[in-house]
Chain A
Amino acid sequence: MSRVEEVIAARKAAGSGALVGYLPAGFPDLQTSIEAAVALAENGVDVIEFGLPYSDPVMDGVVIQAATQKALSNGFRLKHGIEAVAAITSRVDVPVLVMTYWNPVVQFGVDRFADELLAAGGAGMITPDLVPDEARDWLAASDRTGLDRVFLAAPSSSAPRLHQAVEKSRGFVYAVSTMGITGARADVDTAARSLVGRLRTAGATSTCVGIGISTPEQVREVFEYADGAIVGSLLVKALADGGVDAVAKAAAHLATAK
């Protein structure tokens, strides 16, 4: 079992679920993004999803777009993202998964990226625009390094594709709650519940639901049927509006659902 799987399994064994918190690297600046990630870990977040800013983030809504665009215009570089992962993992025990669009990894070199991420204490990678069908290099690099690889599953995915996502993922399978992009929503789709059911049928033992989750009530609801809940835009907005203190409060509030 990978560390992420262990953490999720432990939360499940405790009769609850894992809280996964997303924040982008370099927003509002690199040091603050490190402090904010540490604050997540210290306020009940079980797994950190650390996003690497990218110029063309097609899966992201306006809140995350604005934050990552700011990071890029501040001069964010990929190497800073890896340095930040090292800084976070040296201070807290919570596993850190990097969320990144695919082209930056390709240009960095898939193997080099895997090696440096591993050396920085990173747990693995979530790849929103890389499906297993196109992931040959990453499958090899993650097998070699033992890094987790989190692929997405969507309400629109066919049964064979869900099977593939379960089979190829390690850490967890990212169940996309709704057909859409990141951003808070009033209701987390009923589609999520049925998707997780279909993933279970496909053999999934570690499934986290993401997209649109922003309240402890929604987190609790997700824990009824899934193994973890992923919260992003709400935390990014807290950081944008109120800094690290606000992130800490927001995380602690979400963690009341655990």
Chain B
Amino acid sequence: MPLRDEVGPYFGEYGGRFVPESLIAALDELDAAYQAARVDPVFQAELAQLHATYTGRPSIITEVPRFAEHAGGARIILKREDLNHTGSHKINNVLGQALVAKRLGKTRLIAETGAGQHGVATATAAALFGMECVVYMGEVDTERQALNVARMRLLGATVIPVISGSRTLKDAINEALRDWVANVDTTHYLLGTVAGPAPFPVMVRDFHKIIGDEAREQVLALTGKLPDAVTACVGGGSNAMGIFHAFLDDADVALYGYEAAGEGHLTKRHAATLTRGRPGVLHGTRSYLLQDEDGQTVESHSISAGLDYPGIGPEHAWLHDIGRATYLPITDDEAMQAMRLLSLTEGIIPAIESAHALAGTIKLGKELGPDAVILVNLSGRGDKDMETAGKYFDILDTEALEAEISEPAPDGARGDNA
């Protein structure tokens, strides 16, 4: 069977539904609605129309020769998901699921978010469709992605900082699942990556397939052949599955997923799930995860909130085991340097998540040499990361900023006697 035809609920020994019985009916209902929508031309047309007039699809590809000089001279082509409305690939899945939720008659969307990109996308769809929206976000992440918290609130969403466990993405998912168990009649849980119980891994992948479908055509048109390699960063794995899928059965196209290695995959502070984890069950699915000997989930670390997750989608676990895709660790510093390099050489500021893919691509390009063509999924833009980057590179004029905030406006700006 072609690898592209795999539709779950299992990918090899991974996937399934490890959830409380209370959620099974909702997953069945969702699966039925999604299966119907998948083959319904009306649904597909509605989604395509939204992508054309709202998301801004197709997203372009951009060749980056000045950046490529630092990557062994290989031809490097970026798939520009950063140019989508709301700034990342996340919107592809969100609009798809929101349409399914509407069909199910749900009036309330809930979501987990790490970097805030998925939360922003969900809040956006809720605003667009007139639905209520609650976003769960680890307290740690609300602090490092404060700008996105403000965006979600401006879009009318309620953001709930999660203070249980490690206070990051994994705990936000726990909280969202708890909410869903209690409110499943009115609520759709709009899961943001290719993890979780079936049908989420397949459904989310399908809504992101458009990335690879477009890019495959675009690269063919530009270069006359398929790329030698396709690269993406991997948190839960949605942008990577989205761009990989179109190439799964092209045996000559190598697939590389770059995991967050934080301070180093051999330290305790990383999120390199396939590199350092082992199979188990987390958040409703069987896949690889970072865990201790007893199966307690181990806290992950990454400078990028969107990759700071100790699990990974089951389809990636399967592609890893069968050797179809290769997953390699990228440290915080490698990612930050790649972020700066793309900014300096091409005038494109990538999300720190996406910068992991760029850092991996630099190494890969040096390995493959100047004849290689590498397609990179630039999953998001870096605006949300300016505070982190500003601090990291010490280019934030914090003193000036603080002075501005603490001191009254200059004389005359607002007259005392007014």
A residues sitting closer than 8 Å to B (CB atoms) are 54-59, 61-62, 65, 69, 72, 77-78, 102-108, 128-131, 133-134, 151-158, 161, 165, 176, 179-181
- Is A104 a contact partner of B295 (Cβ separation < 8 A)? yes
- Is A133 a contact partner of B17 (Cβ separation < 8 A)? yes
Instruction: Judge whether B18 is part of the interface by a CB distance below 8 angstroms.
Output: yes
User: Which residues on A sit within 8 Å (CB–CB) of B17?
Assistant: 131, 133-134
**CB of A153 to closest CB in B, whole Å:** 6
- Is A157 a contact partner of B25 (Cβ separation < 8 A)? yes
A-contact 0/1 string along B81-106, CB 8 Å cutoff: 00000000000000000000000000
User: Which residues on A sit within 8 Å (CB–CB) of B182?
Assistant: 179-181
User: Which residues on A sit within 8 Å (CB–CB) of B297?
Assistant: 55-56, 103
- A56, A104, A131, most chain B CB atoms within 10 A: A56
Instruction: Judge whether B21 is part of the interface by a CB distance below 8 angstroms.
Output: yes
- Is B26 a contact partner of A156 (Cβ separation < 8 A)? yes
Given the known A-B contacts A56-B282, A58-B177, A65-B164, are A77 and B21 also in contact in the complex, defined by CB atoms under 8 Å?
no
**CB of A152 to closest CB in B, whole Å:** 4
User: Which residues on B sit within 8 Å (CB–CB) of A65?
Assistant: 164
Rounded to whole angstroms, the CA-CA distance of A161 and B28 in the bound complex is 12
Given the known A-B contacts A58-B178, A180-B182, are A107 and B21 also in contact in the complex, defined by CB atoms under 8 Å?
no
- Chain A residue at minimal CB-CB distance from B279: A106
Rounded to whole angstroms, the CA-CA distance of A56 and B18 in the bound complex is 13
Instruction: Judge whether B398 is part of the interface by a CB distance below 8 angstroms.
Output: no
Rounded to whole angstroms, the CA-CA distance of A165 and B283 in the bound complex is 22
- Is B19 a contact partner of A129 (Cβ separation < 8 A)? yes
- Is B18 a contact partner of A134 (Cβ separation < 8 A)? yes
> Which of B16, B165, B185, B294 sits near A104, CB closer than 8 Å?
B294
Given the known A-B contacts A102-B281, A181-B178, are A176 and B294 also in contact in the complex, defined by CB atoms under 8 Å?
no
**CB of B160 to closest CB in A, whole Å:** 13
A-contact 0/1 string along B16-33, CB 8 Å cutoff: 111111101110100000
> Which of B18, B170, B181 sits near A180, CB closer than 8 Å?
B181
- Is B170 a contact partner of A56 (Cβ separation < 8 A)? yes
> Which of A55, A130, A161, A180 sits near B165, CB closer than 8 Å?
A55
Rounded to whole angstroms, the CA-CA distance of A8 and B25 in the bound complex is 29
Given the known A-B contacts A56-B170, A107-B295, A181-B182, are A161 and B18 also in contact in the complex, defined by CB atoms under 8 Å?
no
Rounded to whole angstroms, the CA-CA distance of A193 and B174 in the bound complex is 28
User: Which residues on A sit within 8 Å (CB–CB) of B25?
Assistant: 154, 156-158, 161
Given the known A-B contacts A55-B297, A151-B21, A180-B182, are A103 and B165 also in contact in the complex, defined by CB atoms under 8 Å?
no
Instruction: Judge whether B291 is part of the interface by a CB distance below 8 angstroms.
Output: yes
> Which of B28, B185, B283 sits near A56, CB closer than 8 Å?
B283
Given the known A-B contacts A56-B283, A106-B280, A106-B281, are A179 and B184 also in contact in the complex, defined by CB atoms under 8 Å?
yes
Rounded to whole angstroms, the CA-CA distance of A153 and B24 in the bound complex is 10
- Is A107 a contact partner of B20 (Cβ separation < 8 A)? no
> Which of A58, A103, A151, A179 sits near B295, CB closer than 8 Å?
A103
Rounded to whole angstroms, the CA-CA distance of A108 and B16 in the bound complex is 20
- Is B20 a contact partner of A156 (Cβ separation < 8 A)? no
- Chain A residue at minimal CB-CB distance from B185: A179
- B20, B22, B170, B284, most chain A CB atoms within 10 A: B22
Given the known A-B contacts A55-B297, A77-B294, are A153 and B280 also in contact in the complex, defined by CB atoms under 8 Å?
no
Question: Could you pull out 6 A-B pairs where Cβ atoms are within 8 angstroms?
Answer: A130-B18, A131-B24, A153-B21, A154-B25, A176-B20, A179-B22
**CB of A35 to closest CB in B, whole Å:** 23
- Chain B residue at minimal CB-CB distance from A105: B295
- Chain A residue at minimal CB-CB distance from B184: A179
Rounded to whole angstroms, the CA-CA distance of A161 and B22 in the bound complex is 11
6 closest cross-chain pairs (CB), A and B? A107-B295, A180-B182, A154-B22, A156-B25, A104-B295, A103-B295
Instruction: Judge whether B406 is part of the interface by a CB distance below 8 angstroms.
Output: no
- Is B280 a contact partner of A156 (Cβ separation < 8 A)? no
User: Which residues on B sit within 8 Å (CB–CB) of A134?
Assistant: 16-18
- Chain A residue at minimal CB-CB distance from B171: A56
User: Which residues on A sit within 8 Å (CB–CB) of B16?
Assistant: 134
Given the known A-B contacts A104-B295, A156-B25, A179-B181, are A56 and B19 also in contact in the complex, defined by CB atoms under 8 Å?
no
- Chain B residue at minimal CB-CB distance from A79: B294
Instruction: Judge whether B296 is part of the interface by a CB distance below 8 angstroms.
Output: yes
- Is B281 a contact partner of A103 (Cβ separation < 8 A)? yes
| Interface contacts beyond A55-B296, A104-B294: sample of 7 additional A-B pairs, CB < 8 Å, sorted by A | A57-B174, A58-B19, A58-B20, A58-B181, A107-B294, A156-B25, A179-B182
- Is B295 a contact partner of A108 (Cβ separation < 8 A)? yes
Instruction: Judge whether B293 is part of the interface by a CB distance below 8 angstroms.
Output: yes
- Is A152 a contact partner of B20 (Cβ separation < 8 A)? yes
User: Which residues on B sit within 8 Å (CB–CB) of A151?
Assistant: 21
Given the known A-B contacts A54-B296, A161-B21, A165-B21, are A103 and B181 also in contact in the complex, defined by CB atoms under 8 Å?
no
> Which of A102, A153, A157, A158 sits near B18, CB closer than 8 Å?
A102
Rounded to whole angstroms, the CA-CA distance of A58 and B283 in the bound complex is 8
User: Which residues on B sit within 8 Å (CB–CB) of A107?
Assistant: 280, 291, 293-295
